[in-house]
Amino acid sequence: MHGGCEGLAAGLLGGLGFLTRYAGAGLLVTGAVIVAVSAWQDGGRAKVMRPLGTFAATAIAVISLWVVRNVVETGQPLGPRFEGGAAEPLSTTIRLAFIGIGNIVAGDHHSLDGMARIGTVVVIGIALLAAFALQSRKALTLDIGMATFAATAFVVPILARRLTANDIELRVMSPMVIPLIYFAIVTFDRVCTSRAVAVIGAALLALWMYQGIAIAARFPGYAPSSAADKQQFAPQMYDAIDALPADARILTNNPQRVWWFTDRVPTQMGFTRPRPGNSHYPLDATDTLKEACTGHAYLAWFNGLSNSGIGPKERRPDLAALVDLELQTSVPGGQLYLLAPVDPSTCGQG
């Protein structure tokens, strides 16, 4: 890496990665390490500070734009976040990380203990393979960068859960697959002959291409437990929503699937309680009442979801005190309600 242009580009990418998902904070650490090691190899310690400073300044500038927006919109620099972390022992949090890694690597056909053991083996394997790669010093900058990425991909979700009680599951731990594959290939390349690398690499490439084509052909409904499986929760509800007028506004406890299968805009989360791990928050009392006052807002309620409870009124009695739920239709596994203000005189206030 030469001069400040690379540091500028790296800072821009790192900042954008962080804004894409806050867990991308690990990319900032990884980027800083790569910039520093690369500059040190090019010119020694004296050449490190300038590109590292450029990296940091660029990343901070990118992030600051969104932080200012969050402060203006929500009063919090990272937007609405949970205060207070998980009360579980640290060992339990770490075990969840191992379970998530085991799940993404070996699938969910194992017990939790089995996935935890697999995840532990994967992390130990990455550490051993990284140590071997660093010892060879053949691609030091990239090897150190990937080792840093592996460390942050493991540590950041644990810290996030300790601070905000965020979920730890396979999708959160999935970045660990990247250093696993990288160091496995690096080790193979540095131990085996060129011919063996070519033959086995071609075989693996053909296998991965076949799997990718097969999955693409079945996508998006190939996984019974995926959000693309329309039959999971009240499939007839989507037909009921499609039959609503074009100007209908949809609230639901299942917003991702409703939007995916009906293309309804807006589709908003409603009548649920916010919890750590939510991608977004449900509408508060003010906004829920505002939707009810339009006269064409509906609540699509899916009983099979973990956030459904006994029902929407029982789940959010504070909202039910302001908004009446008029049952429009009932389907196996769900109900469709029309929202109406309990007191019409409250509409337009506030």
Provide the percentage of residues in the chain whose pLDDT is more than 90.
41
Domain count, the chain: 2
Q: Are residues 337 and 289 in the same domain?
A: yes
Q: Are residues 151 and 290 in the same domain?
A: no
Residue where one domain finishes, among candidates 158, 192, 218? 218
Question: In terms of Cα–Cα distance, which of 205, 236, 251, 209 is closest to 304?
Answer: 236
Q: Are residues 158 and 12 in the same domain?
A: yes
Q: Are residues 200 and 332 in the same domain?
A: no
Is there a domain that residue 243 lies in?
Answer: yes
Q: Are residues 152 and 276 in the same domain?
A: no
Q: Are residues 62 and 32 in the same domain?
A: yes
Q: Are residues 193 and 242 in the same domain?
A: no
> What DSSP string runs through 293-346?
TTS-EEEEEETTSTT--S-HHHH-HHHHTTEEEEEEEEETTEEEEEEEESSGGG
The parent domain of residue 138 ranges over: 5-218
Q: Are residues 168 and 208 in the same domain?
A: yes
Residue 65 has pLDDT above 70, yes or no: yes
Which pLDDT score is estimated for 98?
Answer: 95
Average pLDDT of the residues of the chain = 85
Is there a domain that residue 231 lies in?
Answer: no
What confidence tier does 87 reach under pLDDT thresholds 50, 70, 90?
confident
Which pLDDT score is estimated for 81?
Answer: 66
Lowest mean per-residue pLDDT among 36-50, 96-110, 158-172, 318-332: 36-50
Residue 245 has pLDDT above 90, yes or no: yes
Across the range 238-259, mean pLDDT stands at 93
What confidence tier does 1 reach under pLDDT thresholds 50, 70, 90?
very low
Q: Are residues 207 and 242 in the same domain?
A: no
